[in-house]
A and B are shown apart, each in its own frame.
Chain A
Amino acid sequence: MNIWRSIFLLAVLPMLAPAQDSDPTRPLPRNQFRNGEAVLRAFAPLSKATRDSIIKLNVDGETVALGVVVDTNGLALTKASELKKGKLTCWLASEKEVPVEKLAADDEEDLALVRVHATGLKPIRWSDERVTIGQWAITPGIAATPHAIGVISAMPRKIRGRQAFIGVRFEPTGSTRIDGLLPGMGAEKAGIKSGDIIIGIENEVVTNREQVATRVRDLRDGQKVKLRVQRGEEQFDADVQLMVPDPDEPRFGFFRQSLGRLGTDVSHRAEGFEQALEHDTVLPPWLCGGPLVNLDGKAMGLNIARASRVTTYALPSTLVQRILEALKAKAAGAPVSSI
């Protein structure tokens, strides 16, 4: 009896299975993707709690950034470099469009203080708690559900400015013999050739690649460095200007920067921040400038840049609040304390 039942089941199961899993390769419905509507809907209470603290900024009618309201008189912060010249207005959660005035900016951290000519705005509540890797990072806007969500990906850290280079490649042994030059960069312009050996930088002797890298690493775009170069029996000095290569330059491995941006637009200003939280939210550059909130509806920071396919940066709340005070003083015409 049992045997017969087993055979019966074996025969039936293959017919039943396709009925349950009609197409096993069928993908997840789009609205259930991490950034799909069904998932975003669960975050609606957070949007409701913050939408009156957010503005959507337009220049000549085109959305350029979000902004975060910081007091009851209409002061707000946003990403400075997105405020192009033109007529500045913003949309509010109430669906009104109101004029906006730019008051002051901090170019170092790319923040601008603006005044929104409207009433009924609520200041954002800042969170001063430590962030944890893996916690939700929500980017609400003025709508009922957030624009996008993600998680904190990496601990807060300083984000260096874009690396400037002298434009040489060394042979792979670790020595300072040059075996390639990046076209159009400083080294080539200074007359350095493949086969030359760098023996000194700014009157200091160097013998390996790492010493050169260490000396050059802290220099910025446009600065010059004096290299002592050996070519055969001859030695000479060369003043080489550091330059930032075109990120799309396919030679010598720079292509990784463009591959790293595959599928995403990045912010024009996406590097050089004193401190930033890294999160994996997929956010278009024109939706930076607003708050990054946690599940308590408090702002952990301000989204400052879309940096790569996997990276969005937010300035941490403590840094934002510090710069806010300096910007208020600047706007009031008071001397600005060091920030």
Chain B
Amino acid sequence: MSRLRGTLMNPGARVFLVAWVIFALISVRTTFAGETTAPAQTKSSKAGAKGEIGLWTVPPRPTPVSRKDLPAAFSKPAPTSVADLKSIEQRVKDLIPKISPAVVAVEIGHGSGSGVIITSDGLVLTAGHVCGAPDREVLFRFSDGSQARGKSLGRDEDTDTGLLLITNRGPWPHAELGDLELAGTGDWVLALGHPGGYDSTRSLVVRLGRIIRVGADALQTDCTISPGDSGGPLFDMQGRVIGIHTAIRSSLTENFHVPITEFYDGWDTLVRTGAKTEPTFAPRAFLGATFVDAVTGCRIATVDSGSPAAKSGLKAGDVVLRVDGRELSAVLFRRFIAESEPGETLKFDVKRGQRELSLTVKLDSAPRLK
């Protein structure tokens, strides 16, 4: 087994790092009728405000863990008996329920990918090309169908590392971080993620493979991965995250993962946008409607059933002329709601057909996860 400790890839390897960016694994969500995309109920975050990420700590760089507890089959160049296969299978079957809860599908803008939660307060590792620019709204989807909201913290385009934060209150199931000190070619690994994007009829998708190449800045396996897997975790047989899915090439054995060590070396870049101040995680005001610009003010596009908007009598198609006496465009309206407090009462003057109505809306806090 060849081992690597902080060795740089040779120049040839550098070239393929660039080449496979074109196959970046992000899956584009479409908005065609018939597609199963849920419309993102977008509520702007308190735009641009810094220092609201809250106080969180990055997990310490893990110390290498002895592999003595791994069955003998894992240290062979290849399994040699059905007994070896049984012990590999047993290990894999035991690991999956432990590592799966921390794996999420992430939806950002029109893209979707995967991610893995690494702290109980909701830090999520993903690929840089999934994360995109800081401060974007993110919807996290868990395998059990539940959801959480959050934002992108930062990314590094060179390494394709990205960091997200769940802003709903935790604690969240999280995965243990690994190291590559003792990793080598031939190690059995598990790739988890949501190929093709989140599918409510399907569970998380698990793939087993071996490490084909490992270096300080590249990790290749024969775990087949596909668009939508981007940002998902690669686990070692001790159930620790050792890589993040980043790219593929046309061969089925050319599946690439960002080595976890790239994250340890780059936390500062990834969290540059987030000042480490007091924790906020303040509940945010929630209206439960989407809106678009109209000739005057803005028009309600959709109303969530059971939401504060629905309870107040607001209906899709209503044109909002004034909120608390102020005329607002859709953008300003979103910001206005985002900056309001849960429990606050707002007076809406709306036009419905030819009639003008005055409605009172009591804002709620954003729906909590079950």
Listed in ascending order, the chain A residues whose CB lies under 8 Å from chain B are 21, 23-28, 31-36, 38-39, 41-43, 45-46, 132-136, 150-155, 157-158, 160, 163-175, 177, 182, 198, 207-210, 212-213, 216-217, 219, 242, 252-256, 259-260, 262-264, 278, 280, 282, 295, 308-311
CA distance A337 to B182 in the complex (A): 59
Collect the chain B residues with CB atoms within 8 Å of residue A158's CB.
201
B205 touches A216 (CB 8 A): no
Q: Known A135-B89, A154-B202, A208-B301; judge A28-B186 contact (CB<8 A).
A: yes
B126: interface (CB < 8 Å):
no
17 A-B pairs whose Cβ atoms sit less than 8 Å apart in the complex: A24-B3, A25-B13, A28-B186, A39-B78, A46-B82, A135-B92, A151-B207, A154-B202, A174-B41, A210-B302, A213-B35, A253-B28, A262-B250, A263-B251, A280-B205, A280-B224, A295-B85
CB <8 Å contact, B212 and A170 = no
Contact, CB under 8 Å: A208 / B96: no
Please tell me if the beta carbons of A213 and B36 are within 8 angstroms of each other in the complex: yes
Tell me how far the C-beta of B184 lies from the nearest C-beta in chain A, rounded to whole angstroms. Answer: 9
Residues A134 and B32 in contact in the complex (CB < 8 Å), given A27-B185, A174-B290: no
Whether a CB of chain A sits under 8 angstroms from the CB of B77 is: yes
Say yes or no: B85 contacts A310, CB within 8 Å. Answer: no
**Given B110, B201, B254, which contacts A172 in the complex, CB threshold below 8 Å?**
B110
Interface stretch of the complex, out of B4-12, B159-167, B171-179, B262-270: B4-12
> Which of A25, A26, A160, A262 is most buried by chain B, counting CB atoms within 10 A of its CB?
A25
The residue on A at minimum CB distance from B80 is A42
A25 — which chain B residues lie within 8 A by C-beta? 2, 4, 7, 9-10, 13, 213, 215
Does B222 contact A151, Cβ atoms closer than 8 Å? no
List, in ascending order, chain A residues with CB within 8 A of B225's CB.
309-310
Residues of A within 8 A of B41 (CB): 174
B215 near A134: Cβ-Cβ < 8 Å: no
B233 in contact (CB, < 8 A): no
A33-B210, A34-B210, A310-B224 known; A42+B82 contact, CB < 8 A: yes
- For the complex, what is the distance from the CA of A151 to the CA of B209, rounded to whole Å? 9
Contacts of A252 in B (CB 8 A): 30, 32
Q: How far is the CA of A311 from the CA of B251 in the complex (A)?
A: 15
CA distance A208 to B84 in the complex (A): 55
Q: Which residues of A contact B206 (CB under 8 A)?
A: 133-134, 151-154, 280
List the 5 closest A-B pairs by CB distance, nearest first. A38-B78, A207-B316, A175-B301, A174-B39, A208-B302
Q: How far, in angstroms, from A172 to B225 measured CA to CA in the complex?
A: 29
Measured CA separation A262–B227 after assembly (Å)? 10
Q: How far is the CA of A39 from the CA of B302 in the complex (A)?
A: 55
B213 cross-chain contacts in A, Cβ below 8 A: 25-28
Given contacts A33-B212, A165-B32, contact A154 B252 (CB under 8 A): no
Q: Is the CB of B220 within 8 A of A27?
A: yes
B29 partner, pick from A38, A253, A255, beta carbons under 8 A: A253
Complex Cα distance A11/B229, Å? Answer: 45
B210 near A28: Cβ-Cβ < 8 Å: yes
Contact, CB under 8 Å: A32 / B210: yes
* B355 in contact (CB, < 8 A): no
The listed residue with most A CB atoms (<10 A of its CB), out of B32, B207, B224, B249, is B32
Which listed residue, A41, A135, A151, A210, touches B39 by the CB 8 Å rule? A210
Closest to A160 in B: B201
User: 5 new A-B pairs (CB below 8 Å) besides A32-B186, A174-B290, A175-B292?
Assistant: A25-B213, A28-B211, A42-B85, A167-B32, A168-B32
A219 to B34 Cα, complex, angstroms? 9
Query: How far apart are the CA atoms of A308 and B317 in the complex, in Å?
Result: 42
Contacts of B291 in A (CB 8 A): 173
B345 close to A (CB within 8 Å): no
A122, B212: Cα distance in complex, Å: 39
Is B292 a contact partner of A262 (Cβ separation < 8 A)? no
How many Å lie between the Cα of A259 and that of B80 in the bound state? 36
CA distance A253 to B111 in the complex (A): 10
Whole-angstrom CA separation of A195 from B279 in the bound complex: 45
Q: How far is the CA of A261 from the CA of B37 in the complex (A)?
A: 21
Across the interface, which residues of A come within 8 angstroms of B93, CB to CB? 132-135
Contact A153 B205 (CB under 8 A): yes
A217 touching B34, Cβ below 8 Å: yes
A209 touches B207 (CB 8 A): no
> Does A210 contact B196, Cβ atoms closer than 8 Å?
no
Complexed CA–CA distance, A167 and B228 (Å): 23
Chain B residue numbers with a CB within 8 Å of A264 are 252
Contact B215–A24 (Cβ < 8 Å): yes
Indicate if B203 sits at the interface (CB-CB under 8 A): yes
**CA A191 – CA B251 in complex, angstroms?**
43
- With A168-B33, A172-B31, A212-B33 already in contact, the answer to whether A154 and B253 are too (CB < 8 A) is no
Residue of B79, B82, B186 with most chain A CB atoms under a 10 A cut-off:
B82
Most buried by B among A36, A217, A263: A263
Given A134-B89, A172-B31, A278-B205: A256 touches B212 (CB 8 Å cut-off)? no
Q: List residues 115-170 of chain B with CB under 8 A from any CB of chain A.
A: none
Residues of chain B contacted by A42 (CB below 8 angstroms): 78-82, 84-85
Q: How far is the CA of A186 from the CA of B347 in the complex (A)?
A: 44
Q: Which residues of B contact A256 (CB under 8 A)?
A: 27-28, 196-197, 227-228
For the complex, give the distance between the alpha carbons of A165 and B13 in Å.
43
Q: Does B204 contact A (CB under 8 A)?
A: yes
Q: Which of B1-53 contact A (CB under 8 A)?
A: 2-4, 7, 9-10, 13, 23, 27-41
Q: Would you give the 0/1 interface string for B277-291, flagging 1 where the beta carbon is closer than 8 Å to chain A?
A: 000000000000011
Also in contact, A295 and B224, with CB within 8 A (given A134-B206, A169-B30): no
Q: Is B338 an interface residue (CB 8 A)?
A: no
Interface residues of B in 305-336 (CB under 8 A from A): 316-317
Query: Are B33 and A259 in contact, CB atoms less than 8 angstroms apart?
Result: no
Q: Which residues of A contact B224 (CB under 8 A)?
A: 280, 282, 309-310
What residues of B have a CB within 8 angstroms of the CB of A154 in the complex? 202-206
Q: By the criterion CB–CB under 8 Å, are A278 and B208 in contact?
A: no
In the complex, chain B residues whose CB is within 8 Å of the CB of A136: 85, 88-89
CB of A238, distance to nearest CB on chain B (Å): 13
Chain A residues, CB < 8 A from B249: 263
B239 within 8 A of A: no
Interface residue? B86 (CB, 8 A): yes
Q: Could you give, for residues 79-111 of chain B, a 1 whenever the CB lies within 8 Å of some chain A CB and a 0 otherwise?
A: 111101110110011011000000000000010
